[in-house]
Amino acid sequence: IQDGCDEFVDIREMSSHDAARRIVEDEVDIMVDLNGYTIGGRLEIAAMRPAPLQINFLGYPGTVGGGFFDYIILDDVVLDDTEESLFSENVIYLPPYYGVNNGRPQPSDSPQARGDFNLPEDGFVFCSFNKPNKIEPVIFECWMTLLKDTPDSVLWLIDDNPVATENLKLEAAAHEVDPGRLVFAGKVPKDQHLARHGLADLGLDTRIYNGGVTTWDALAVGLPVITIRGDHVPSRATSSMLTSLGMESLIAADLDAYRSLALKLAVNNEELKRLRDSLAENAKTAALFDTEISVRRLERAYQKIWETYAGGGEPQSIRIKADD
């Protein structure tokens, strides 16, 4: 990040007051806060209004509820315009997905085999590499039902926290599922992690807080991911990504539909292959994986809100069109 800036100022050791003063002295026009109510967040700086325009973006996927952010950046899938009244910020709708990522990642070309990861050679592999703190009882019970309904299947999870790993095994047993059918993947270099997605059959999204980069990585390397479109921003992130890829058939309306879709795909190889082929084809030209397009649209948003401010206008919600 530092190498990509004309000037880089580290405010970590500054007091909030000094940081706000530095922002004023540097004549920052648009200040973007990437933390919100998350670890490391310093909303008190934004509350001092050191910049003419201030944006809440990415780190905290919801309104901060204060009057010190003029805008929040979201998209048409994660937020319905009828819900804007619930936000203290005006909304910049950024297509196709409000998160901006690096270009499509390149997985390792080293050979990958299921046996290397304790996966069955022939059984169906459900996969969710989301952090375990996103796995709550309702979705876990659904996953256990899927394992019961699909003999010889396994659920491939990430071994991110030893306490969580043991608790998930205990919970599986409580649902009368052999804990051995939960297979835990250790941490490996990113390119190898991307490559091992190819050993899974179907990605399962978490419910209340969807996968972000986790889903993006899976879709980028061709693993279909099913999701439920929830009722708030973090429960609609995967729906946004799937919509941008033309893969709306992987979006379920509720938990029953999610379970039925997963079961259908687990027993219908032809349908699953069709979806994989569609995902691979659509991804070739998808703006979701085109960083330059996403950056240009973000820059256009900054230009538009600055033009409104410079012209004496009040902040108002705007939509950046795909052809902007």
Same domain, 122 and 210: yes
Say whether pLDDT at 324 is over 80.
Answer: no
Q: Ramachandran region of residue 8, left (φ > 0), alpha (ψ -120 to 50) or beta?
A: beta
Same domain, 54 and 189: no
Answer yes or no: is 107 within a domain.
no
Answer yes or no: is 62 within a domain.
yes
Question: In total, how many domains does the chain have?
Answer: 2
Reported as a single tens digit per residue, the pLDDT across 147-203 is 999 999 999 999 999 999 999 999 999 999 999 999 999 999 999 999 999 999 999
How many Å apart are CA 200 and CA 107, to the nearest integer?
14
How many Å apart are CA 275 and CA 269, to the nearest integer?
10
Same domain, 295 and 278: no
How many Å apart are CA 247 and CA 280, to the nearest integer?
11
Mean pLDDT of the chain: 96
Averaged pLDDT, 222-242? 97
Say whether pLDDT at 103 is over 80.
Answer: no
Tokens of 116: 């290397």
Answer yes or no: is 150 within a domain.
yes
Instruction: Please report the pLDDT score of residue 34 as a whole number.
Output: 96
Answer yes or no: is 193 within a domain.
yes
- More confident of the two residues 323 and 258: 258
Same domain, 159 and 242: yes
CATH assignment of the domain containing 201: 3.40.50.2000
How many Å apart are CA 287 and CA 97, to the nearest integer?
9
Q: Which domain holds residue 299?
A: 2-102+290-319
Say whether pLDDT at 105 is over 90.
Answer: no
Say whether pLDDT at 4 is over 80.
Answer: yes
How many Å apart are CA 120 and CA 33, to the nearest integer?
45
Reported as a single tens digit per residue, the pLDDT across 246-264 is 999 999 999 999 999 999 9
Residue 158 host element (H or E): strand 154-158
Answer yes or no: is 324 within a domain.
no
Same domain, 162 and 281: yes
How many Å apart are CA 57 and CA 55, to the nearest integer?
6
Looking at the chain, the whole-number percentage of residues with pLDDT higher than 90 is: 95
Same domain, 152 and 68: no
Band (pLDDT 50/70/90 cuts) for residue 100 is: confident
Same domain, 256 and 180: yes
Same domain, 42 and 153: no
Same domain, 131 and 202: yes
Q: Residue 190 to residues 195, 214, 225: CA-CA distances in angstroms?
A: 9, 12, 19
Give rounded-to-5 percent helix, strand, coil for the chain.
45, 10, 45
Tokens of 212: 């972000």
Least confident range from 30-34, 61-65, 109-113: namely: 109-113
pTM beyond 0.85: yes
Band (pLDDT 50/70/90 cuts) for residue 28 is: very high
Same domain, 155 and 185: yes
Band (pLDDT 50/70/90 cuts) for residue 314 is: very high
CATH assignment of the domain containing 65: 3.40.50.11380
Amino acid identity of residue 41, one-letter, is G
Instruction: Please report the pLDDT score of residue 19 as a whole number.
Output: 98
Same domain, 48 and 191: no
Answer yes or no: is 109 within a domain.
no
Answer yes or no: is 108 within a domain.
no
For residue 189, the SS3 value is coil
Band (pLDDT 50/70/90 cuts) for residue 101 is: confident
Same domain, 163 and 248: yes
